[in-house]
Structure 1
Amino acid sequence: MEDLYLSEIFIYPIKSLGGISVQQAEVEERGLRYDRRWMLVDKEGNFLTQRQHSQMALLQVTLQEDGLSVTHKQGLLEPIFVPCNEHTDKEVAVTIWDDVCTALEVSNEISKWFSDALQMPARLVLMPTTTQRLVDQKYAQQGEIVSFADGYPFLMIGQASLEDLNSRLKEPVPMNRFRPNFVFRGGTAFTEDTFVDFTISAIAFRVAKPCARCVVTTINQNTGEKAAEPLKTLSSYRRVNNKVMFGQNLVHAGAGVVKVGDKLAVQSWK
């Protein structure tokens, strides 16, 4: 079998906003450094997502030396800077799916900027290091924790899988529709479905479960517009138990740096 190697790495510092392509990233206990460490919530503390608010796709995050810069992709707002280590002492109980955990509001000023940007009440919160949000215990190996990601520290997709999908579409879609952390090249379409354990840069990863896809895949990440594809086509050949699967959720053990070009070495297969 041909070599498998990382071809792209993405982080999403603020949940459901535009992601960042990086050449290398640090693997920490909760996932990649900076990935989903911030989140937008409503007045009740429920997480905000592109699933209901597709305009969130228009807010792009970039990493600065000591914080995040957030801009509007259509230039409708002045950028705002979010310092990495600054926050209020105001604790907020936030809800992500079935999980409730403690977060810290960043600042009233920054929350107002996001409320104006999204034209609805929104607060930006940060996950403190004291918050221990557990991975679903049905799939966790050793009590792994996760950031504000939907449920797992990492999502991985093979480039061949996207190419297979695009061969079935009238108009191809980019990888950003699926919001992975890791993209790899090598192997055939959906090779990742057969992985059990593998390493990248001597860090051990394990496939937890396939990723069930939702309406976010139908949102153009440059315009915020929705369409039927690619979910319609995916549902015709990637449906399992009435869920559409594309990509694999991962858990891990260890820490270190992963880089584009690193070899992905599979230890065991399904």
Structure 2
Amino acid sequence: MDLWSRFTRTSKGLEEQESSSPSQSEPTAKISSIFIYPIKSCRGISVSKAPLTPTGFKWDRNWLVVNSRGRAYTQRVEPKLALVEVELPTEAFDEGFDIKKDSFMVLKAPGMQPLNICLSKPHEVADGVSVWEWNGSAWDEGAEASQWFSDYLGKPSRLVRFNNDSQVRPVDPDYAKGHQIMFSDCFPFLLASQESLDAVNQHLEDPVPINRFRPNILVEGCEPFSEDLWTEIKISSFSFLGVKLCSRCKVPSINQATAISEPEPNQTLMKIRSGKVLRPKGKDQNKTYFGQNMVWNWRDCYAKKNGNVLNVGDPVYVMKKVTSAAEAAA
């Protein structure tokens, strides 16, 4: 039984309870945007609400493009993935969404005809799929999807879907023991603030949008980089743990509108957000940081009358924090 099935079974039959009032009377921030990335490294979707699951938002990083050996393609090596647009039915973000035969994910890319991917699970299994440290099997989306991505990228490719009926991909237990993900890099959720983006952009001649950093949750109303310090927060009535500062790779340097790599904002991040600056006594002095990786405390969650859903506008309460980025896990 997969993680979400265990959660829903545990929750079923429990008395519904309203959220208790956080100890902090006033919220520190509120959600300004929610982003879902159905296919890893492809373009995200901005939504007004999103159901929570233990492995991340519903539909987030459920799919992955792989090469002929089953190894994951990401924007690090295939920046053209940034131009692949993904559309899901609006009702797919309703918690009780019922997948029908005509429920499709639609893919679009420059020079390509739109491709429909049926949301019903495929029947074929692809073995030997790998992303970073993980190896396992996945659902294969078939020959048409394979040909579409092969033509677009100019090399043999396949589209696969995480098989949560049989596969488990644990989060690093040193940071979040007992939590799992699908095809996300490391953690189920990434949170960043508008104020942090604004602070970085003050150093840039050409400001960059938040899509360079690909967060799931964007908040506003807090101090710049204050999310570095948050170790436990409540969003609406849901408890999250901030478990690791997000170290950044080359992806923020890829213009998401053109798929062209640029010097910024990575050069500026090295000047103002490196380990040398933020964590002078720590390891990884040459890494840069932007955003906070999080997990949802789903084990402590009871069934909610309105479902396990986050909405744009939901308040953010800081329950616990450290005093400096040097004390945060990284």
After TM superposition, the score normalised by the length of structure 1 is 0.96
The secondary structure found in structure 1 opposite 2:176 is coil
- 1:165-192 Cα deviation digits (max 9, x unpaired): 0000000000000000000001111010
Structure number with the higher strand fraction is: 1
AA partner of residue 172 (structure 1):
P
Are positions 1:183 and 2:218 aligned together? yes
Residue in structure 2 matched with residue 32 of structure 1 by the alignment: 57
| In structure 2, C-alpha distance between the alignment counterparts of 1:25 and 1:71, rounded to whole Å | 22
| In structure 1, C-alpha distance between the alignment counterparts of 2:141 and 2:148, rounded to whole Å | 12
The secondary structure found in structure 2 opposite 1:139 is helix
AA partner of residue 52 (structure 1):
V
Equivalent residues of 2:126, 2:160 under 8 A apart = no
The secondary structure found in structure 2 opposite 1:226 is coil
Structure 2 residue corresponding to 1:250, chosen from 294, 317, 325: 294
Are positions 1:147 and 2:182 aligned together? yes
Structure 2 residue corresponding to 1:134, chosen from 163, 170, 173: 170
Equivalent residues of 2:129, 2:137 under 8 A apart = yes
| In structure 2, C-alpha distance between the alignment counterparts of 1:133 and 1:37, rounded to whole Å | 12
After TM superposition, the score normalised by the length of structure 2 is 0.79
| In structure 2, C-alpha distance between the alignment counterparts of 1:151 and 1:263, rounded to whole Å | 26
Structure 2 residue corresponding to 1:71, chosen from 108, 113, 129: 108
Equivalent residues of 2:244, 2:292 under 8 A apart = yes
Structure 2 residue corresponding to 1:46, chosen from 71, 79, 94: 71
Aligned residues: 267
Are positions 1:259 and 2:259 aligned together? no
| In structure 2, C-alpha distance between the alignment counterparts of 1:215 and 1:84, rounded to whole Å | 31
Equivalent residues of 2:242, 2:295 under 8 A apart = yes
Alignment of 1:1-270 (within 5 A): 3-64=28-89, 66-72=103-109, 74=110, 76-130=111-165, 131-141=167-177, 143-240=178-275, 241=284, 242-254=286-298, 256-270=308-322
Which ranges of structure 2 fall in alignment gaps of 5 or more residues? Answer: 1-25, 93-102, 276-283, 302-307, 323-330
Equivalent residues of 1:9, 1:21 under 8 A apart = yes
Point out 4+ residue stretches in structure 1 off by more than 4 angstroms.
none
Structure 1 residue 49: Cα displacement: 0.4
| In structure 1, C-alpha distance between the alignment counterparts of 2:59 and 2:188, rounded to whole Å | 12
Which ranges of structure 1 fall in alignment gaps of 5 or more residues? Answer: none
AA partner of residue 21 (structure 1):
S
Structure number with the higher helix fraction is: 2
| In structure 1, C-alpha distance between the alignment counterparts of 2:216 and 2:246, rounded to whole Å | 13
- What percentage of residue pairs aligned between the two structures are identical? 37
The secondary structure found in structure 2 opposite 1:168 is coil
| In structure 1, C-alpha distance between the alignment counterparts of 2:45 and 2:125, rounded to whole Å | 28
